[in-house]
Chains A and B, each alone.
Chain A
Amino acid sequence: MSNKSASVWTSIRFWRRSAAWVTGTATVLLIWLTFDTMGQISMGSDADLAKGIKKRIPAATVINYHIDYKMDDKRGHEVPVIGEKEKFFGKEWSAKDAAALLHLGKLTSQAKNCMDCHTLLGNGGYYAPDLTKAWLDTKWNDGTMTGITGKNTKEEAMAEFLMHPSQYPTHARMMPDLGITKNEAVALVAFLKHMSSIDTNGFPRNFSQSAKRLEGGTHAH
C-alpha cells in the first residue's frame, strides 16, 4: 500500500460524488427556504389589515387604506406604511369585491403585456417607468396628471390615462392605446395600489423624493 500515487484531485469518482452532494444539498436548502418564504409572501387577510398586523403582501382590501412609503430607521430603508382608511373610486370595497378587482387587475396586467415595456417589482422591459410604487408617484399626487386628465382624484386620473394613454402624452415616448376598458382600468389601478403596499425591502430607494428638486435634469452634455 503506497501513499504516493493516490491523487484524489484527478479522481472522477471524487468529483462526481462531490457534485452530487453539493447539488443535492443546495436543492434541499432551496426547497426549505422556499417553504419558509412561501409562508411570508402569502397574501394577508382583511382582518390583518384591520388589526394593523404587518404582512409583506397585504390583502386586496389594502385598496381601502391610505398608503405611504417612508424611511424606517430600524430596517434602514423605506417601507410601505398603511395608514387611515380612504375611499377608492368613491367607496369602500368589501373583501370579496376587492379580491375580484385585484384578480381582474392582475389578469389585465398580463393580457395587456405591461411587463414588456414597464418593470413590475423591477422586472420587465426597460422602456417605461417602473410600476412598483407607481401609485405613490409624485406625478399623480402633485396635480400634474389630475390636471391633464381633468379628474378630481388620482385613481380616476390613472384610470382615464390607462384607457386613453396616447391622448395625454408627457414625452415623445408614449404609452400606446391597448384597448383597456373602464372596468379593466379601475382594476389595474387597484392592482397598482396593491403593489405599492408590498414590502420590497426598500426598492426603489429614495423613491420620487427629489424629482422636484432637480426638475429639468442636470443639463450635462
Chain B
Amino acid sequence: MLTDAHLKYESQKLAMNYFRVALVLFGAQLVMGLIVAIQFVYPGFLFEIFDFSVARMVHINALVVWMLFAMIGSVYYMIPDETGEEAVGIKLGKLAFWVLTAAITVVVLVFIFVQVGSGSEASIWFINEGREYLEAPRWADIGIVAVILVFYYNVFATYIKGKRTGIMTVMVANLFALAGLYLCGMFFTDNISMDQYWWWWVIHLWVEATWEVFVGTLAAYALIKIIGAKREIVEMWLWIEVLMLFGSGILGLGHHYFWIGTPEYWWEIGALFSALEPVPLVAMFVHVLYDWGKEQGHAEAKGDAKVINNTPAMAWIVANAFGNFLGAGIWGFFHTLPQVNIYTHGTQFTAAHGHLSFFGAYATILIAMMYLAVQGAYGIKRMTMTFKTKMSLFLTIFGVLGMAVALTIAGYEQVLVERADLGGGWDAFFTAQNLPWYIQAQGWRLVMGIVTFAGFVYLAWDLLTIGAVESAQEESEGAAAAATA
C-alpha cells in the first residue's frame, strides 16, 4: 500500500490512492460500528454527546463511501490492463480524487461535530439529508456527481480509445446505470411514500443490481489475473451473470414496495423476482470454484504445482463467492416473501442480512482488489499469504458471521415477540428489546464486532507490510538462484 513504484500506468497509481483512503474509511466504519454496538448493550454510552443516530449515520456512510472509493480504485486499476491504454483524462482524474476526498472529509466532520440542524432546507443542503445511507448533504451530492462524471469520462473515453473487451463493455454500461441512479436520491418531497419509492431506486438498484454486476466484472478480471482463467469462458459467465442479476434484481426492487404505501400488486412482483435473486449468486460461486479447479488441473498436467499467483487475493475472491451467496442470497431470501416480511420488516433481521451481505458481497472482493494492487505496486510475481493475512481472513469472516448469527437471533426474537405476539408499537418494541434473549444476542454481537475489528487491524497491517516483505523475499531468492546458477 505504501508504494506504487512498480506500476507503469498513472491510472493504477491513482487507484492506489483510492485504496488508501478506502482502507482508512473502512477503519472508521468499524469504530463507529463498535460505538453503536456498545450503545445497544449500554444505552447510556455517549448519550446526548455522540448519540446512536450520529454514530450509525457515520457507520453506514463510511461503509458506502469506502466501498465507492475502493470500487473507483478497482476500475482505475483495471483500465490499463483491459484496454491497454493509460486513462485518457488522468490529470482531471487526480484532481477529482483530491476534491472527492476533501468533500468527504468535510461531510464526515460536519456529521460528527454538527450532527443535526433545524428543520429547514439549509440543514438538508449543508448538514445532513436525514435519509438513511444517503445522508450526505445536497452540496456534497452535487459534488459527488461532478467527480463521478470525471471518473466516468475516464472510463468511457479510455474504453473507446483502447481494446474493447467484454469485461470492459459490461463495466462501462453498468457504471453508467450505477452513476445515473444516484440522481434519483437527490430531491426533497413532503410525501414520505414518494420519498422512499425513489430512495429505494438508489439503494436497491445499487446493491442488488448494479453493484452485483460490478462484483461479477471484478471477479472476471481478477480470475484472469490471478489464475489465468480463459477470457472466453470468463466473459461468457459474465454475460450469464448480467442476464440473471438484472433479470431478477431490477424487478426484485418490488420487495421494498410491500409496505411503504405502494399498491398491492408489488407483493407478487417483489416476491417472485427477488426470490430468484440468489440464483446468479449460486452461479457466481460455481463459476469461481470451477475455474479455479480447472486451471489448477491444467497447471498440474503441465507440471506446475501452483496456478494461483496471489493467494491472499484468491482467498478473498473465494470468500466473496461464498459470502455473496450466503449473505445476499440466503439471508436475503429469508425475509423476501411478503408473508414473512410483514413481520420481519424493520427488525434486526434486516441488520443481520445487511452485515453479512455488505461484507460477503462487497467488502471481500474489494479487499481482494487491494491485494492485487499491492502485488502490482511492489512488482511481486507470486504473492502468498502471511500469518497476518490468515489472521485477518479468519477473524473478519468469523466476526462478521458471528455478528450476523447474533443479529438473526435478535431479529427472530423481535419478530416473534414484538411483531407476531404484541403487534408492534412502543411497548411491544421495548418488551422485545428487554428480553434476555435479545440482550444476550446484542452482547454477542458486540463481542463479534470486536473480533471483526481485530481482523481489520491484521488486514490493515498486512496490506501495509506484505508488499515490502514479499518483494524483498523474491529479490533475495532471485539473487540466491542467480548465485547458484
Contact = CB atoms under 8 A, between A and B. Distances in A.
B118 A111 contact: yes
B52 A130 contact: no
A22 B427 CA distance: 47
Interface stretch (B294-302, B385-393, B430-438): B430-438
A19 B242 contact: yes
B46 to A, nearest CB: 10
B422 A15 contact: no
A46 interface: no
Contact of A40 (B189, B262, B351): B262
A202 B267 CA distance: 12
B260 A139 contact: no
5 contacts: A123-B196, A127-B39, A166-B48, A205-B423, A220-B437
B473 interface: no
Contacts of B422: 208, 210-211, 214
A-B complex: 4 closest residue pairs judged by Cβ atoms:
A108-B119, A110-B130, A208-B425, A203-B259
Contacts of A214: 421-422, 431
Given A23-B247, A42-B191, 16 more contacts: A23-B250, A38-B194, A110-B129, A110-B188, A111-B127, A114-B130, A124-B132, A126-B351, A129-B429, A138-B425, A172-B44, A184-B118, A203-B345, A204-B419, A204-B424, A205-B342
Contact of A130 (B195, B346, B437): B346
Nearest to A205: B342
Contacts of A125: 52-53, 56, 132
Interface in A131-174: 132-134, 137-139, 166, 170-174
A217 B435 contact: yes
A132 B260 CA distance: 9
Interface string A171-209: 111101111010110010001000100111111111111
B362 interface: no
A22 B192 CA distance: 31
Contacts of B227: none
Given A57-B261, A112-B119, A200-B260, A30 B251 contact: yes
A40 B263 contact: yes
B123 interface: yes
A123 B259 CA distance: 10
B292 interface: no
B456 interface: no
Bin chain A's interface residue count: 35 or more
Interface of A: 10-12, 15-16, 18-19, 22-23, 26-27, 29-30, 33-34, 36-38, 40-43, 56-57, 60, 75, 99, 102-117, 119-130, 132-134, 137-139, 166, 170-174, 176-179, 181, 183-184, 187, 191, 195, 198-211, 214-218, 220-221
B152 interface: no
B423 A37 contact: no
B408 interface: no
A183 to B, nearest CB: 8
B293 interface: no
A123 B421 contact: no
Contact of B40 (A41, A56, A113, A127): A127
Given A204-B424, A220-B437, A41 B346 contact: no
B193 A41 contact: yes
Interface in B165-211: 166, 188-197, 199
Nearest to A75: B264
A19 B428 contact: no
A12 B128 contact: no
Given A199-B261, A204-B423, A23 B53 contact: no
A188 to B, nearest CB: 8
B52 A116 contact: yes
Nearest to B267: A201
Given A111-B124, A126-B351, A10 B236 contact: yes
Interface in B229-282: 232, 235-236, 239-240, 242-243, 246-247, 250-251, 253-254, 257-264, 266-267, 269
A121 B250 contact: no
A185 B350 CA distance: 30
